[in-house]
């Protein structure tokens, strides 16, 4: 069986995990990573030193041809992709939108690994929005990309439950595990010629927005349930917080209790062993 020639695109730790998974598959002679697309290096840390993103580090370690750019609207990028003669481009948390001319280059198109059950929570923050809105289920979708944002046809999906105390990190872990096996299943179906693409139902589509720090400030006019969801959704970043006498207090964990308290929302009732109850 001819090996699939794959270009991989991504720049995050989630991307790195999938790239390492693809490299394991390449050892089994199922695929070959012929190139990597990732974003440009950014300054980080207190000294604002330029550091490689996780995907570039793996590319250098395994000596895979890697091209970095903050735009795909470039003749040089297009020519590089054409030169790789890829069967498919696999995308995992890559922030750039693929133009139509690139989408049409690989034989099987461009596939994206997205952490929601599309068409619910298109956009950049599906995990946080699932928790913020109290969803009972989530999952992973692999879609054949088109020129829209997460609007392409569904290749394959797998779901999981969301618990009442689900946090960003626990749901991220669940979806990461699901996505690894889902990618393998999808590639096997592709190699067997059994792909059945399905249109998304536009009537039930919802969108997530990019998370910013302002979203994590606690509003005491919100319900206890909404505050708790925010704390769990923003657990890693930007972390929920409130202010007391111009001091920022970060909130790492909350519990919703069924108890009536005759005081204003946000009032500190007691402090015990360094923990505040509000």
Instruction: Work out the mean pLDDT of the chain and round it to a whole number.
Output: 93
Assign 231 to helix, strand or coil: helix
Domain shared by 94 and 187, yes or no: yes
> Whole-model pTM?
0.92
- Number of domains composing the chain: 2
CATH of residue 219: 3.10.25.10
Same domain flag for 34 and 170: yes
| pLDDT-derived band at 45, boundaries 50, 70, 90 | low
Residue 60 and residue 128 share a domain: yes
pLDDT at 48: 67
Domain identity same for 126 and 162: yes
- Could you report the per-residue pLDDT of 158-201, keeping only the tens digit for each? 999 999 999 999 999 999 999 999 999 999 999 899 999 999 99
In contact, 223 and 134? CB cutoff 8 Å: no
Q: Which residues pair with 248 in a beta bridge?
A: 243
Q: What is the CA radius of gyration of the chain?
A: 22
Per the CB < 8 A criterion, the answer to whether 10 and 91 are in contact is yes
Instruction: Say if 274 falls within a structural domain.
Output: no
The range of the structural domain enclosing residue 223 comes to 213-269
DSSP, residue by residue, 13-48:
HHHHHHHHHHHHHHHTTSEEEEEEEEPPPEEETTTT
Last residue of some domain: 204, 222, 254? 204
Q: Are residue 13 and residue 116 in the same domain, yes or no?
A: yes
HEC letters along 103-161: HCCCCCCEEEEECCCCCCCECCCHHHHHHHCCCCEEEEEEEECCCCCCCCEEEEEEEEE
Residue 254 within any structural domain of the chain: yes
Domain end (from 150, 183, 204): 204
Q: What is the pLDDT of residues 195-245, one digit of tens each?
A: 999 999 999 999 999 999 999 999 999 999 999 999 999 999 999 999 988
């Amino acid at each position: 069986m001819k090996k699939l020639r794959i270009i991989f695109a991504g720049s995050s730790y989630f991307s790195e995990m999938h790239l390492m998974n693809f490299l394991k598959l390449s050892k089994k002679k199922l695929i070959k990573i012929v190139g990597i697309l990732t974003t440009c290096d950014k300054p980080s840390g207190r000294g604002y030193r330029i550091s490689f993103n996780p995907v570039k580090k793996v590319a250098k370690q395994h000596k895979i041809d890697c091209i970095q750019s903050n735009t795909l609207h470039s003749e040089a990028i297009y020519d590089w992709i054409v030169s790789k003669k890829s069967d498919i481009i696999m995308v995992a948390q890559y922030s750039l939108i693929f133009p139509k001319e690139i989408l049409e280059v690989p034989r099987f198109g461009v596939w994206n690994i997205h952490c929601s059950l599309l068409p619910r929570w298109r956009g950049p923050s599906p995990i946080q929005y699932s928790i913020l809105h109290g969803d009972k289920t989530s999952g992973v979708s692999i879609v054949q990309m088109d020129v829209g944002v997460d609007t392409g046809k569904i290749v394959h999906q797998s779901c999981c439950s969301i618990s009442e105390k689900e946090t960003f990190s626990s749901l991220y872990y669940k979806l990461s595990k699901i996505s690894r096996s889902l990618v393998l299943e999808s590639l096997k179906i592709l190699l067997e010629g059994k792909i059945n693409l399905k249109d998304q139902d536009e009537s039930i589509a919802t969108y997530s927005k990019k998370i910013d720090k302002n979203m994590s400030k606690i509003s005491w006019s919100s319900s206890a349930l909404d505050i708790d969801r925010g704390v769990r959704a923003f657990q890693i970043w930007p972390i929920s917080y409130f202010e007391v006498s111009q001091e920022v207090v970060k909130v790492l964990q909350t519990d919703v209790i069924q108890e009536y308290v005759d005081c204003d929302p946000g009032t500190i009732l007691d402090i015990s062993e360094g923990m505040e109850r509000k």
